[in-house]
Amino acid sequence: MRTFMLATCGLCAWLALAGPARAQDDECRAIVAKGIKALGGEERLAKHQGHYFKGKGQVHVMGMDLEFTAEVYEQQPDKQKAEIEFAIMGQNFKFIEVYNGDKGWRNIMGKTMAVEADDMKEHKQNAHAERVSGLLVLKDKAYKLSSLGEVKVNGRAAQGVLVARQDYRDVSLFFDKETSLLIKVETRGKDPNTMQEGAQEKLFLDYKELVPGFQIPTKMVINFDGKKFMDITVTEARMVEKHDASIFAEP
């Protein structure tokens, strides 16, 4: 009898805890579903897994404020290419970075080198945060969602959702309560200035329909430990089903 009573009490305790947890998970998934719809809808986003962005901005690194232009190609889930041009003391530089699955390369002024193992690990963490920011992967129950409550982001009411997955850093998403659009992402990352891990914050601002049927943030700000690292204005965007594979070849 005592064993039966203990088992019954344990079951009741589990049910008491599991009920609110399931309700919270359902609430978070509803917030994410609204975010997907606000961006363009699940069907449209799932079909167009190839992205292209062109923009310009300023990066704050090594005590310098550098103006740059950039073109970025992405093919979910694991391909990315960035071409960045900037000038230092009147000299022009071009930097190309490509990731294709488990391989990565960097090309600086025409010289290509493979991305080292530690940098590949960091890239995979960053790529995870990017996939989470795209929202569609959160339909997979391998991603655990919990509520961060309501907060203010740039003076606007936002709903926060914490995303956890085994072997990856947690990612916090914040959705504009009125528009349901994703307006801030927080995670941990390596600060390019100090090369130390710190708090990384991305702000997505001024959404516009740069591509018919898709809402795209035309301004982004990246901060590390509260200090601005980069701001960029998107001037052109395309959404395609699939990029040509040659784009993600070794540069």
10-residue averages of pLDDT along the chain (251 residues): 47 48 81 98 96 95 88 96 91 95 94 95 95 96 95 96 96 98 96 85 97 97 93 96 97 94
| Whole-prediction pTM | 0.88
Identify the pLDDT of residue 55: 97
Q: What is the dihedral of CA 128, 129, 131, 134, to 10 degrees?
A: 170
Three-state SS sequence of 201-219: EEEEEEEEEEECCEEEEEE
Among 227, 215, 136, 144, which Cα is nearest to 183's?
Answer: 215
Identify the pLDDT of residue 6: 42
**Could you tell me the fold of the domain covering 2-74+141-242?**
outer membrane lipoprotein receptor (LolB), chain A (2.50.20)
Identify the pLDDT of residue 5: 47
Identify the pLDDT of residue 193: 73
Among 114, 84, 110, 85, which Cα is nearest to 100's?
Answer: 114
Identify the pLDDT of residue 22: 63
Among 227, 234, 232, which Cα is nearest to 59's?
Answer: 232
Structure tokens at 78: 């694991």
- The domain segmentation of the chain, as residue ranges, is 2-74+141-242
State the pairing for strand pair 156-164/171-176: antiparallel
Identify the pLDDT of residue 192: 78
Contact 128, 169 (CB under 8 A): yes
Place of tokens 């790529």: 127
Q: Classify burial at 248, counting beta carbons within 10 Å of its beta carbon; exposed 0-12, middle 13-18, buried 19 or more.
A: buried
Residue 97: Cβ within 10 Å count: 19
Give Cα 178 to chain centroid, integer Å: 21
25: left (phi over 0), alpha (psi -120 to 50) or beta: alpha
Residue 195: Cβ within 10 Å count: 7
Identify the pLDDT of residue 212: 96
Indicate the DSSP class of residue 115: P
Mind listing the pLDDT tens digit for each residue in 33-69?
999 999 999 999 999 999 999 999 999 887 888 999 9
Identify the pLDDT of residue 20: 55
d(CA 70, CA 82): 7
